[in-house]
Amino acid sequence: MARIEMQKVAHSYLPKAQKEEEYALKRIELTWEDGGAYALLGPSGCGKTTMLNIISGLLKPSQGRVLFNGNDVTGMPPEKRNIAQVFQFPVLYDTMSVAENLAFPLRNRGEPADVIQRRVREVAEMLDLTAVLNKKAAGLSADAKQKISLGRGLVRNDVAAILFDEPLTVIDPHLKWHLRRKLKEIHERYKMTMIYVTHDQVEAMTFADKVVVMYEGEVVQIGTPEELYEQPQHKFVGYFIGSPGMNFLSCTVRGDVAHVNGASIALDRRAAEMARTAQGRLELGIRPMHLEVHNSAVAHGIPAAVRSVEDQGSWKIITLALNGQTIRARLPEARSAPQEKAWLRFPPEWTRLFADERLIG
Ligand code: ADP
Ligand code: MG
């Protein structure tokens, strides 16, 4: 197992990149702690696979260094790095049996036969592959093939880290949930460094102790699921995480008050103070569940027009227009929804300010 550091790493697929947008990864400064269960979360194209391939050595970064336990491995090929990588689609030998496929990474390392047999049996057990161990991989379903790929990633217990690149994409939804739980259990038992790539926030939040959020080639926040939810450091984290995402309203700040198209919203004093000297476009952010919705006028309530009420089982999502800007609120199912008009209050402790998409304070 290893502690993996990425120092000033940047990567462009172009030979002579100059402009920032020509880089798939920009200025990555990041440490993956030994034994951590990480999710690497971000939309398609933000650089997740590029990041994994730089860690495993399939790709040499254009700039910067990668260290394993303090040793520079930037120029080292994958086979020397001792990393297991599981890809989006099955990678296995069709003509071999399931057992031979699982044994392959161990045979390659010259492990003794009894060790191989024991590990293969353990991994098959973990992934419910015991019944098909002697079958040829070729005849199996897509689900089973991907489970074999996962097994090949998990079979060695001496790896520096296991990297999973959206490994459950081809798996059916029910089995997906089951396998994710399995991976988490395996992590809890063996405490190996795991990096699990996904573009699905629910998958990230249920698997990981720490989530690394990427956006356009940058890491915009690293935190526990709670931290990402309660303290988004970047606008992207605010709207990508949570359902629906955080509300953002353009505003100006005077004194301790934010002005949103003529409506006045009291702010936390410290955030307001910092906003007065912040550079860039100011926006106020609040989670739909933190917005107070009243069905009749209240002191300091800001009137808003109800556009729609959507029933989502345990919640109602209310979409409102506040002086021309759209805002969403989440109410418990049992609450009666306002009909045409509502009065909104923004609790200062949950009202955040962002300047050019970054959290202030
Ligand atoms: P993700 O895994 O988050 O979807 P990738 O790391 O695959 O993102 O891609 C990041 C960016 O780099 C994208 O703009 C993608 O088009 C580009 N890219 C990825 N692989 C290559 C490649 N082999 N050659 C050129 N551009 C690439
Ligand atoms: Mg990818």
Domains of the chain: 4-14+23-239 (3.40.50.300), 245-359 (2.40.50.140)
With cut-offs at 50, 70 and 90, classify the pLDDT of residue 170. Answer: confident
Tell me the CA–centroid distance for residue 18 and ligand 2, in Å.
23
The partner residues of 329 in beta bridges, in order of sequence, read 318
* In 73-209, beta strands by DSSP E: 83-86, 161-165, 194-198
With cut-offs at 50, 70 and 90, classify the pLDDT of residue 4. Answer: very high
CA-CA distance, 224 to 227, in Å (whole number)? 5
Residue 340: pLDDT over 80: yes
Structure confidence by residue, pLDDT tens digits, 114-130: 999 999 999 999 999 99
- Mean pLDDT taken over the chain: 94
With cut-offs at 50, 70 and 90, classify the pLDDT of residue 361. Answer: confident
Q: Report long-range pairs for 16-21 (Cβ below 8 Å, ≥24 apart).
A: 17/62
For ligand 2, an ion, list residues with CB under 5 A.
48-49
How buried is 49 (Cβ within 10 angstroms: 0-12 exposed, 13-18 middle, 19+ buried)?
buried
How much is the pLDDT for 277?
86
Tell me the CA–centroid distance for residue 10 and ligand 1, in Å.
13
**Residue 310 belongs to what H/E stretch?**
strand 302-311
Helix (H, G, I), strand (E, B) or coil at 321: strand
Residue 222: pLDDT over 80: yes
With cut-offs at 50, 70 and 90, classify the pLDDT of residue 148. Answer: very high
Q: What number is the average pLDDT over the span 171-177?
A: 88
**Residue 41 belongs to what H/E stretch?**
strand 37-41
Which atom of ligand 1 is the closest one to the Cα of 51? 6
Pocket mutation for ligand 1, best pick of 9, 12, 16, 49 (most atoms within 8 Å of C-beta): 49
Q: Whose CA is nearest to atom 21 of ligand 1?
A: 13
Q: Nearest Cα to 100, choosing from 140, 27, 159, 151?
A: 151
Would you say 285 and 352 are in contact if contact means Cβ atoms under 8 Å apart?
yes
Buried b (16+ CB within 10 A) or exposed e, 281-294: ebbbbbbbebbbbb
Structure confidence by residue, pLDDT tens digits, 279-324: 899 999 999 999 999 999 999 999 999 999 999 999 999 999 998 8
* Paired tokens of 214: 């990427």
Q: What number is the average pLDDT over the span 193-215?
A: 94
How much is the pLDDT for 173?
87
Query: Which residues sit with their C-beta closer than 6 Å to ligand 1?
Result: 13, 24, 42, 44-50
How much is the pLDDT for 157?
82
Cα dihedral angle (234, 236, 240, 244), rounded to 10 degrees?
80
Which atom of ligand 1 is the closest one to the Cα of 52? 6
How much is the pLDDT for 273?
92
Q: Nearest Cα to 129, choosing from 165, 168, 175, 88?
A: 175
Tell me the CA–centroid distance for residue 12 and ligand 1, in Å.
9
Residue 1: pLDDT over 90: no
Which string of DSSP letters, residue by residue, matches 244-307? S--EEEE-EEETTEEEETTEEEE--HHHHHHHHH--S-EEEEE-TTTSEEESS--TTPEEEEEE
Q: What number is the average pLDDT over the span 148-154?
A: 95
Terminal-residue alpha carbon distance, the chain: 36
How much is the pLDDT for 252?
94
How much is the pLDDT for 52?
97
How much is the pLDDT for 30?
97
